[in-house]
């Protein structure tokens, strides 16, 4: 895809590449893109890798991907914002994902979410002011047999209750 690039855009791209040259993670990402032969249809795979390396997708990172895959930045940004899995903001030190699938919902997952929201004064999708905790929700993690399920830092925990969730989170946010 050939795109005519204006002067300020050129400058911005140069700044991104300069930023990238000082960071090893960009190198790893580029190797990953090479593995996919810089194919444009591997964009989602590349973004997965980028998020794995950086934790979230910042603007410079998205621009870097767009330059390397020769895609317009709008297309990369469009894909990154379309899918729930991609985070455009940095996450807190710990993440707590409350599954809100139907099975978890009828078994009281909404009450777990409410308890955390009340206690820590954050809504789903937000991070606490001290950057300790990010609260997220999932549409269904497929753990319906052990509902309600809560995922603490990537570990699925079965049969959660508001009390067990608050207890776990307390271990993280204690000052």
Partner 1 sequence: MILNDLISIKEKELAARKKIVLRCCMAAGCMSSGSKGVKEQLEKAVADAGLQNEVEVRGVGCMKLCCEGPLVAADPQNALYIKVTAENAPLIVAALKGGTAAIPQADPGSAFFAKQFSIVLANSGVVDPERIESYIARDGYQALHEVLHEMTPKDVVAAMVKCGLRGRGGAGFPTGLKWGTVAKSPGAKKYVICNADEGDPGAFMDRSVLESDPHSVLEGMAIAAYAVGADQGFIYVRAEYPLAIARLQIAIKQAKQLSLLGAGVFESPFNFNVDIRIGAGAFVCGEETALMSSVEGKRGTPRPRPPFPAESGLFGCPTLLNNVETFANVPAIYRKGAEWFAVIGTEKSKGTKVFALAGKIKNTGLIEVPMGTPLRTIVEEMGGGAPDGGTIKAVQTGGPSGGCIPSQHLDTPVDYESLGKLGSIMGSGGMIVMDQTTNMVEIARFFMEFCMDESCGKCIPCRAGTIQMHHLLDKIVNRKATARDLAKLEELCDMVRNTSLCGLGQTAPNPTMSTLRFFRNEYEALLQPDPFGPRSNGAANHSKPATK
Question: Which C-beta is closer to partner 1: that of 28 or that of 42?
Answer: 42
* Shortest Cβ 8–partner 1 spacing (Å): 27
Are 36 and 46 in contact, with CB atoms under 8 Å apart? yes
Q: What six digits make up the tokens of 133?
A: 């905790």
What is the binding site for partner 1 (CB under 8 A)?
39-45, 47-48, 75, 78-79, 82-86, 100-103, 105-107, 138-147, 149, 155-158
* Shortest Cβ 105–partner 1 spacing (Å): 6
β strands within the chain, DSSP E: 94-99, 133-138, 150-152, 155-157
Question: Which C-beta is closer to partner 1: that of 19 or that of 150?
Answer: 150
* Shortest Cβ 20–partner 1 spacing (Å): 21
Which residues, in sequence order, are bridge partners of residue 98? 137, 150
How far is Cα 13 from Cα 5, in angstroms, rounded to an integer?
10
Question: Which C-beta is closer to partner 1: that of 11 or that of 39?
Answer: 39
How far is Cα 60 from Cα 66, in angstroms, rounded to an integer?
10
Question: Which C-beta is closer to partner 1: that of 50 or that of 133?
Answer: 50
């Amino acid at each position: 895809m050939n795109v005519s690039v204006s002067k300020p855009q050129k400058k911005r791209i140069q700044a991104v590449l300069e930023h990238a040259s000082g960071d090893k993670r960009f190198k790893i990402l580029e190797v990953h893109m090479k593995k996919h032969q810089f194919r444009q249809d591997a964009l989602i795979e590349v973004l997965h890798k980028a998020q794995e390396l950086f934790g979230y997708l910042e603007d410079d990172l998205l621009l870097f991907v767009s330059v390397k895959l020769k895609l317009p930045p709008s297309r990369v940004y469009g894909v990154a914002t379309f899918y729930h899995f991609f985070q455009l903001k940095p996450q807190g030190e710990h993440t707590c994902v409350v599954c809100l699938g139907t099975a978890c919902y009828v078994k009281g997952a909404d009450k777990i979410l409410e308890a955390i929201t009340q206690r820590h004064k954050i809504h789903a999708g937000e991070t606490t002011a001290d950057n300790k905790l990010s609260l997220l929700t999932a549409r269904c993690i497929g753990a319906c047999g052990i509902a309600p399920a809560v995922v603490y830092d990537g570990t699925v925990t079965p049969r959660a209750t508001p009390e067990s969730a608050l207890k776990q989170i307390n271990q993280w946010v204690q000052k």
